[in-house]
Structure formats: structure tokens, C-alpha cells
Structure 1
Amino acid sequence: MKRNIVIATLTAAALVAGGTVAAFAAGDDEATATQRQAGTDARAAADRDDADDDRTAAPRGSLTAADAIAAALKHTPGTALAADYEDDGSGTWEVTVVQGDGSAYDVRIAPGSGKVLGAQRDADEDSDNDDRAELAAVKGASTDAREAALAAAAKGTVTEVGLDDDSGAVAWSAETVKDGRHGEWKVALDSDRVTQDRDED
């Protein structure tokens, strides 16, 4: 009788141990599946980030960077320091305009109609030393942001134009898209001469 009890106890213990191992095995499978899913989600997020950073996206509609700058200046008089096509799905242009008192505005332009969607004062940019230096450099320039955008348009569809002083000499910097390829250019302040931006190669 004792022998039967011992055997039954050992069998039950084996079943419990086997069940535990099975449970652990199932847990490992679930953990592995979870890790695989997390890896897939991370890759998908990275792909989305890459898509957001895709600089080969061409502006929607026929409104050019030069048109957007002209519309922004008509609405908010001043000096345009930059124009940027927002490829985040909105398709709007954002033009940075600095007025004589140093106040800076971000003017949003609709891609198709050229209608001004709004102008918001950028307090972070007000009285910024870099902006003042850029404004001073542009004041005596014979090429403004609109003319720089027009000059760079010979290289492709302009998606961004702004000032660049990375190399020590201030110049207009423009980004273009042509045949699905991204290009970066410099436009001289004293002429409409366009050269490839070698610093960005």
C-alpha cells in the first residue's frame, strides 16, 4: 500500500514538474513572440522616421518656394530669412520673416492657393544674435531669399532655402529635388551664382 502511495506521489510530482517545464516553455515562446513583435514595431517606427526624413519629397501643387516667400512678405513685411516645405503631410510652406525691430514671424502658406494660413511670432527667434548677424549680412546683399530660390530652381524643385554660415562665409543655402534625387546648393549673396554645397556631400 505504501509502495502505491509513493509511486502515485512520484507520478504527481513528475506531472507537476512537467507542467511547470511546459509552462516555462510556453512562457519562453510568449516572451520570444513578444520580443519578435517589439523588434518588428521598432523597425516599423524607424521606417516611419526615415519616411519623415525623406528629403526627396517634392512640394504638392504648383506653388514654388519663391511664390511662398512673396506671399509671406506681402502678408508680413520684412526680410525673409528662410522658407521650408513641410513634408509632414500638411504640405504647407513655412517662411521665416524678420521685421526691422528684430521680431521674427513664422508665416504658413497653403501649397496650392498661396493663401496665408497664419503668422505666428517666434519669441525664441526674437533678438537672437545669429538672426541679427544673418539679417545684417542680408541687408547689403544683392540676392534675397526669393531670388536665391529662383536661382536654385534651375537645379530642381526647391524644397528649402535659408542662410548658411557654416563655412565662415554667409551664403544662401538651398535644397532641391529632381528625378527623386536630393541636392544641396549654395547661392552667393552678391550674385545668383549657384554652386554645389560640398560641405554636405
Structure 2
Amino acid sequence: MKRNIVIATLTAAALAGGTVAAFAAGDEETSSARPGTGTGTGTNVQVVSDRDDDTTDDRSDDDAEDRTAVRSSGVTAAEAIAAALRHTPGTAVSAELEDDGADAGTWSVDVVRGDRAEYGVEVSDSGKVLGAQRDKDEDEDEDGDSEDRAELAALKGAKFDAREAAVAAAANGTVTEVGADDDNGAVAWSMETVKDSATSEWKVALDTGKVTQDHSDDD
């Protein structure tokens, strides 16, 4: 009789506490479950965690690949400048490759026309001109305007224009930026190149096309 009572008590306890035991077992699996073993909540938590990590890693890899593709594919700086000048004749004074956002892979080329009006010409990574917009910011002071005139005159009279300077600098990597640098009245083309993930700065002489590395921004 006593044995029957004990069995009945254990059975009742199992029925009443079965749900608690099941959740307790699930908690143990959450903390100790190994991939490919266990069932229920523990296994699901493990899978979700792994999936999140994989997604983050994939996204980082994609970003790195996008940066590399933008800098090494499509249209070169010289080709973008030539396309911009065919669309908007004048003097190209700068060019920059966009490397992020919706405009990644496009070139922005600044062209000054004969009337000194400046236009920003957008060139796609396939060489197609997407459009040109006039720069209406003409609020510079007289000294700044005078400096710009002198710099523009130097660029107009250069034996090596922006396109030719970009071709010369391309021997050192993929040109991603072209501009003019006025160092105490001595104007030269300023170039930025990328090679093997390293960025370098260069100067290209307006009269000879000689390329020298620019260390002025080094620490």
C-alpha cells in the first residue's frame, strides 16, 4: 500500500511539474547545446547567433569588394575628364571619383568655360555624361578671386592639362582624384592614387609632366 502511494505521488508530481522540467531542460540546452545536437529553444538560439555573425562578415566583405571595384574598374580619370570636356568644353580644373553611397563609381569633373563659369560634370563608370550643373557660388572676396584667376591662367597655359597629368600619374596606381595645388605661387597638378590598398599623393609639373611624390601631408 505504501509503495502504491509513493508511485502515485511521483506520477502526480511528474504531471504537475512536467512543463517546468521541460523548460529547465531547454535552458540547459541553451547554455550547453552543440551544433547538430539538441532540440527546442537551445538549438534555435545557437543557429540565430551564427547567422547574424555570418551576415555581418558578408557585409564587411561586400563593402571591401565594392571599394576595390570602384577604384579599379570602369572609367579612368583621364577618360572621365575627356568625356566631360566633350560635353562641356573648357578647362578641366579637377576630377574626383566617388567611392561610396549611391554615386559610387561616378566621376565629378569641374570645368571652367571661357566666360569663367564653372560647371560640375557628372560622368558614370561607363563613361556616359549624366549631366552638368553650373556652380553659382560666386561670393568670394577680391583677393580670393585674384588668386583663382592666377591659378586658372596657369592651368590654361599648361603644357600638360588635367587629362595628360592623370595619364602621367597613372603609372603609380589608379588615379582617384585630380586637382590643382598652388604652393607659394607655383601651381602644379595634385594627384591621388590607390595601389594595393595604399593611397599616395603626387604632384605633376604643368610644363614638363614630371611626377614627384608629395610628402607634404605625411605625419
Q: Does TM-score exceed 0.5, indicating one fold?
A: yes
Structure 1 pair 9/91, CA: closer, same or farther in 2 (3 Å)?
Answer: same
Structure showing greater Rg: 2
Residue type of the alignment partner of 2:168 = A
Letter of the 2:18 partner, please give it: L
**Distance in 1 between the 2:182 and 2:21 partners?**
70
- Decide whether the 8 Å contact of 2:188 with 2:205 is kept in 1: yes
Q: Which amino acid aligns with 1:138?
A: E
Q: Structure 1 residues 15 and 161, CA, compared in 2 at 3 Å: closer, same or farther?
A: same
TM-score (norm 2): 0.62
Question: How many angstroms apart in 2 are the aligned matches of 1:171 and 1:29?
Answer: 64
- What is the CA–CA distance in structure 2 between the aligned matches of 1:150 and 1:59, rounded to whole Å? 16
> Could you tell me which amino acid in structure 1 is paired with residue 68 of structure 2?
D
Paired residue for 1:106? 121
Matches for 1:176-191 after TM superposition, within 5 Å: 176=193, 184-188=200-204, 190-191=206-207
1:175–1:182 CA contact under 8 A, matched in 2? no
Q: Which residue of 2 aligns with 1:20?
A: 23
Deviation track 1:132-160 (CA, whole Å, cap 9, x = no partner) reads 79954631323532232132134355444
Unaligned runs of 5+ in 1: none
2:68 is aligned, of 54, 60, 74, to 54
Cα–Cα, structure 1 residues 37 and 128, in superposed 2: closer, same or farther, change >3 Å? farther
What are the Cα deviations for residues 21-58 of structure 1, in whole angstroms up to 9, with x where unaligned?
A: 23443324322321221111111111111112227943
Distance 1:126 1:147, change over 3 A: farther
Whether 2:48 is the aligned partner of 1:45: answer no
**In the aligned structure 2, how far is the partner of 1:10 from the partner of 1:105?**
81
Aligned residue among 134, 157, 161 for 2:178? 161
Is 1:79–1:97's contact at 8 Å kept on the other side of the alignment? Answer: yes
How many correspondences in the alignment? 191
Counterpart CA distance in 2 for 1:41 and 1:117 is 36
State which of 190, 193, 196 in structure 1 corresponds to 2:210.
193
Instruction: Look up the SS of the partner of 2:167 in the other structure.
Output: helix
TM-score by length of 1: 0.66
